[in-house]
A and B are shown apart, each in its own frame.
Chain A
């Protein structure tokens, strides 16, 4: 064992000496990212991090590929093949390198950002580490895998360009092909099944290549890893698999969601829209106590509204507006193509809607009185009620969950917004994904269509409370809902 470690450390030191320019560039970019954090940078420079983020990703990929190529695993002219290198030491050395020069700096920069945002680090250390691991996976795994089957950076660039191109084309067309069968966006978001499968197969491929140097077979495995991302497209069971594994006590099939056709549609006349919009009651059973549902996916594309004569109308389910009110769950639907004639408005419509939901359990609920000024939100961060038209929060949300803010007892019906969540899927492409602190400012409650922000009024209600719900995703489900006999009348 000590031989393995000793050789690994030796190779690690050699790699550090060889790649110090690339390491310096990455660290400089991370330092820039931290220095120009939008919360603290001047307004003029607050956009720098958005441009830094993709460069950080490129620098990470460049560094990862570089370290693997130091002892390239393809070809038969490499100098190390006829030297007493242990394969396990070699792999360990490369892992040590990426952990030291990528994972740790990402973790540290996250910690620094937390400190600068005034969010306590130690209580959130676990979340920060989890997040850093998830993000580092995206920063390290793809280039590491690609470098294992290539011999130089030229080839990596070719592979990456081809991959991005193919992915863009394939995902676009696959979504349109599968769109009717699956909620749009399932591959991009909440794709736990796909991502886990991809990561697992990629790791197996990497270990295989380090041990056996069979480039063709490894390339095949990696291709399977990429295709694995599309797994949820093929089966409900696959989509729900991680839910069953990670939460064995939770059976997602028990959750039944359907439109309650016995409850009349509540007509909703929004001043900014000229289309008929209505609230449809949902019947939801089987939801665990304290759990909530949040839809995801492109609601506009998945909602199919058809007239009795077979004409398809353009419709949109307002995303995220499943509201749990005192009298149940409601979903909002707007139909844009509805003609104006009374007879057409009166004819029954059939609505089919395929939607994905995350099921979230509530870990904690904390309440704070509505007052002007700032207040700490437990150990998650702090918020500030400014001029009575906004609420500004700096919060470290849970690693795989959300923090929602609601307002109750303020004379308006309660509402809830998702204040902060982490993008742990495809996280590397934007600055939000590299920051563990969510910065949200709310100027009006969403879904209220221009009604005044109630905080000003809430300030005069002594019982008014901000309600913070920390929720964690415990499952992902997909349901197709059908409403026959939908009538929209003004």
Chain B
């Protein structure tokens, strides 16, 4: 411990500029996050500063690790009585005290300024720090442990990010689901590589191979069954769900210049609980002509996002391009085979809250308040949820006499990083209720109620749909 502290103090002396940079960036992020929430409750614009925080953390961690580089033969420290554990401890101390603690303090300040309880959320804040550390600190730590210099580090990062980008755009939602587990696997490999470097200093070849494996893991064509097996095991009964195309409602929509001729196929779900809902995440369509010719679209995301008829149904759009039509023969009857990735959601018990212009708490969702959009004069519901993302769902407003259409889009707006937390500990979102301002005003004036119908994701299934 003493040696670790000693090395840490030396690193602080050496890297004070980098440490100051990180703290400054984190402080500025906190200021921006608060200012934007206060001044522009309907949007935040902290992307650049989040990038700066990430870049400065990377730089600090890489420099700290390179101070006692784990590669190369001419380093000063291997012939000195450094205990590996102390060395690793010192670097972890740097990561914690120079990055995690300032982030934690910033989180507390942000929560506090936004009138969200800090002590109640303490456990969540600590857990958040751990999760943030996995994506903000661990990768630069692991990569720096197998590189010699910042220049080498940058090259590895460029390659890693390129692979991640190409792999990130999944062709099927199974890849996206697999991606979560691949990412977890990649992070585990990084932990092993970094630990190996510190405990077993010898050739770095194996450690570099582990890092390469971590990077490439995202790009591997993992079998779809991976995610299905993991997620299916959590809710075994979803494997019994049947999905049936609603044949009488099939229609040809006509020409879409980008996609070609498209068909909408509504689906209905069977053998499911009454409060379950389907959502199409991606699909792979194959058109087959009578004489056996086929044309395949490959895995694509759903064309228009989650659309549905009713609460339990979903719609898949399948399109065939003009090239495909010429292959199969325009005008010939076709059979459509669709492999579809479906997410299952369960509706939770609705939460009712009195509609009011004052701020109000929604248990499990966050703290909300109605306000007016200056451009449209519409009422907007702005909510903030501390620490964790709120469950998705819809919001309805009603009075004793009337039940109005939902004032939110079918889901709250999500950030794309629903796997790992973003930099801000307060998740902010708003609803847009065009055309319902008068209704909302009326409901508020007549003591109406807001109903939050949240849902929980149950799992992911794959089904095959055939439409002749």
Contacts and interface: CB of A to CB of B under 8 A. Distances in A.
A binds B: yes
Given A66-B151, A336-B375, A387 B162 contact: no
A316 B375 contact: yes
A83 interface: no
A272 B434 contact: yes
A25 interface: yes
A55 B161 CA distance: 8
Contacts of B166: 32, 48
B158 A165 contact: no
B243 interface: no
B45 to A, nearest CB: 10
A390 B369 CA distance: 38
A48 B254 contact: no
Given A43-B300, A161-B21, A59 B158 contact: yes
Given A21-B155, A55-B158, A336 B374 contact: yes
Contact of A157 (B59, B300, B374): B59
A157 B165 contact: no
B257 A390 contact: yes
Interface string A343-360: 000000000000000000
B170 interface: yes
Nearest to B153: A153
Max count, chain A CB within 10 A of own CB: residue among B18, B151, B255, B258: B151
B301 A58 contact: no
Interface in A131-183: 152-154, 157-158, 161-162, 164-165, 168-169
A274 B376 CA distance: 5
Contact of A273 (B24, B59, B162, B376): B376
Contacts of B154: 58, 62, 153, 157
Interface string A109-128: 00000000000000000000
Nearest to A26: B158
A153 to B, nearest CB: 4
Contact of B56 (A154, A161, A334): A161
Given A55-B158, A386-B255, A387-B257, A44 B171 contact: yes
B195 interface: no
B105 interface: no
B63 interface: yes
A58 B255 contact: no
Interface string B187-228: 000000000000000000000000000000000000000000
B159 A25 contact: yes
B415 interface: no
B376 A392 contact: no
A162 B377 contact: no
Interface stretch (B47-55, B94-102, B265-273, B388-396): B47-55
A44 B254 contact: no
A44 B300 contact: yes
A386 B377 contact: no
Contacts of B437: 274
Contacts of B378: 274
B165 A387 contact: no
B264 to A, nearest CB: 15
Nearest to A28: B162
A272 B170 CA distance: 37
B299 interface: yes
Given A25-B158, A55-B158, A314 B374 contact: yes
Interface in A23-73: 25, 28-29, 32, 42-45, 47-48, 51-52, 55, 58-59, 62, 66
A9 B413 CA distance: 56
Say whether chain A's binding surface is mostly helix, strand, loop, or mixed: helix
A62 B437 CA distance: 52
Nearest to A35: B166
Given A153-B149, A154-B150, A42 B52 contact: no
A404 interface: no
Contacts of A42: 171, 298, 300
B310 to A, nearest CB: 27
A384 interface: yes
Given A157-B150, A272-B434, A169 B28 contact: yes
A59 B49 CA distance: 21
A168 B155 contact: no
Given A161-B55, A164-B52, A45 B169 contact: yes
Contacts of B161: 51, 55
A22 B152 CA distance: 10
A44 B297 CA distance: 11
Interface residues of B, number: 46
Nearest to A165: B52
A386 B450 CA distance: 43
B186 interface: no
Contacts of B375: 273, 275, 316, 334, 336
Nearest to A41: B169
A152 B59 CA distance: 14
A21 B259 CA distance: 39
Interface in B418-460: 434, 437
Contact of B299 (A44, A51, A55, A66): A44
A275 B169 CA distance: 41
A316 B169 CA distance: 38
Given A273-B375, A274-B376, A392-B257, A162 B21 contact: yes
Interface in B259-313: 259, 282, 298-301
Contacts of A165: 21, 24-25, 28, 52
A183 B171 CA distance: 44
B40 to A, nearest CB: 12
A25 to B, nearest CB: 5
Contacts of A28: 162
Interface in B22-38: 24-25, 28
B332 interface: no
Contacts of B301: 43-44
Interface string A326-347: 0000000010110000000000
Given A21-B155, A153-B149, A162-B21, A168 B48 contact: yes
Contacts of B48: 164, 168
Contact of A168 (B52, B151, B162, B257): B52
B165 to A, nearest CB: 4
A58 B51 CA distance: 13
Max count, chain B CB within 10 A of own CB: residue among A28, A44, A336, A386: A44
A340 to B, nearest CB: 11
Contacts of A32: 162, 166
Max count, chain B CB within 10 A of own CB: residue among A58, A157, A336, A390: A157
A66 B151 CA distance: 9
A44 B152 CA distance: 32
A161 B59 CA distance: 10
B151 A58 contact: no
Contacts of B151: 62, 66, 152-153
A152 B154 CA distance: 13
A86 to B, nearest CB: 27
Contacts of A29: 158, 162
A469 to B, nearest CB: 24
A257 to B, nearest CB: 25
A383 to B, nearest CB: 11
Contacts of B252: none
B256 to A, nearest CB: 7
Interface of A: 21-22, 25, 28-29, 32, 42-45, 47-48, 51-52, 55, 58-59, 62, 66, 152-154, 157-158, 161-162, 164-165, 168-169, 272-275, 314, 316, 334, 336-337, 384, 386-387, 390, 392
Interface of B: 17-18, 21, 24-25, 28, 48-49, 52, 55-56, 59, 63, 149-151, 154-155, 158-159, 161-162, 165-166, 168-171, 254-259, 282, 298-301, 374-378, 434, 437
13 contacts: A22-B155, A28-B162, A43-B258, A44-B171, A152-B151, A157-B55, A165-B24, A165-B25, A165-B28, A272-B376, A336-B375, A387-B254, A390-B257
Closest CB pairs A-B (n = 5): A274-B377, A386-B257, A336-B374, A51-B165, A153-B151
